[in-house]
Amino acid sequence: MKAIQRMNPDDHLVSAKELKDVVAFGRKCSKTAFPNPTREGCPERARLRAMAHRDPRLTLEDLPIAHIVRCSPCFQEYLHLRRMSLLVRGLQITAASLVVLAVFVTAVLFVKDRISGRGEPSVSQQKQQRSEPQPNVVTPRPAVPVSPIPIKIDLAAFSPTRGDEKQDSRKKLHLPQKLLRVTLQMPLGMEPGEYLVRLKDSAGTDYADIRALGRINDGTTSVEVDLDLATASPGNFTLMIRPPGLSWRRYPVVIE
Ligand SMILES: [Zn+2]
């Protein structure tokens, strides 16, 4: 572990190859070579998940590599999460190519239509003609089970804390245990720019750590982030937001 760390002294970012090596090594050692029924010293599931998703912000120190290769339950869990991550990515690619296909077919139909039809159709006719063939193309089967649910949160309605003060008495954000596309509407006066958004569980472990661009529209800045809460355990979380040039704001969240 120490040796691996020294190999990468500048940024400690984990390369895909290093992770592959871990998996290959683990496979060699078999899945049951290191039973750990009491799960002693096991890392948080969130950390395994981040590792399985190849979170590019992870550093080697963050990764429980040394533990995983010596703990069969963790190793199996990692393999499982990794498979899920690849599966989700595969589905996203499938969804994207379906959209491309749909747009392409629609364009072809539209061009054919214009060539065969006499005269210039009006704009409204064009729109109708374009949208009509689409449903047949897009829905060969509902192969897109993982499209995020859009949610809008007006943070002006919630009061943040800047330190570690008690949060019990305050209004909590309730989020469903789903894949979400959250639009965070910032309180008035918040500048557009780079926002940092984190979601921590009650143990203080990062569940999500996202950089996003705050855009201003009609005087209010909003930030859009995707939060995959499908695998989050229900309970109390803390949503942390750092507007550009300002300190962290904390909002209590309940995932249910
Ligand atoms: Zn373990």
Spatial separation of the C-alpha atoms in residues 185 and 191, rounded to whole Å: 12
Q: What is the pLDDT of residue 60?
A: 67
The last residue of one of the domains, among 109, 143, 177, is: 143
pTM of the model: 0.42
Q: Which residues surround ligand 1, an ion (CB under 5 A)?
A: 42, 71, 74
Asked if pLDDT for residue 170 goes beyond 70, the answer is: no
pLDDT tens profile 65-89: 778 878 888 888 888 888 888 888 8
Tell me the residue ranges of DSSP E strands in 86-145.
none
- Overall domain count for the chain: 2
The last residue of one of the domains, among 143, 161, 196, is: 143
Tell me the residue ranges of DSSP E strands in 65-118.
none
Distance 41 CA to ligand 1 centre (A): 6
Mean pLDDT of 174-200: 89
Give the range with max mean pLDDT: 74-88, 112-126, 156-170.
74-88
Same structural domain, 155 and 132:
no
Q: What is the pLDDT of residue 43?
A: 87
Asked if pLDDT for residue 130 goes beyond 60, the answer is: no
Distance 103 CA to ligand 1 centre (A): 47
Distance 28 CA to ligand 1 centre (A): 17
> What mean pLDDT value characterizes the chain?
77
- List, as one string, the DSSP characters of 91-147: HHHHHHHHHHHHHHHHHHHHHHHHHHS-SPPPHHHHHHHHHSSHHHHH-SS---TTP
Distance 21 CA to ligand 1 centre (A): 18
Query: Containing domain of residue 179, as a range?
Result: 149-255
Same structural domain, 113 and 156:
no
Distance 58 CA to ligand 1 centre (A): 19
- Closest C-alpha among 197, 200, 230, 256 to residue 88: 230
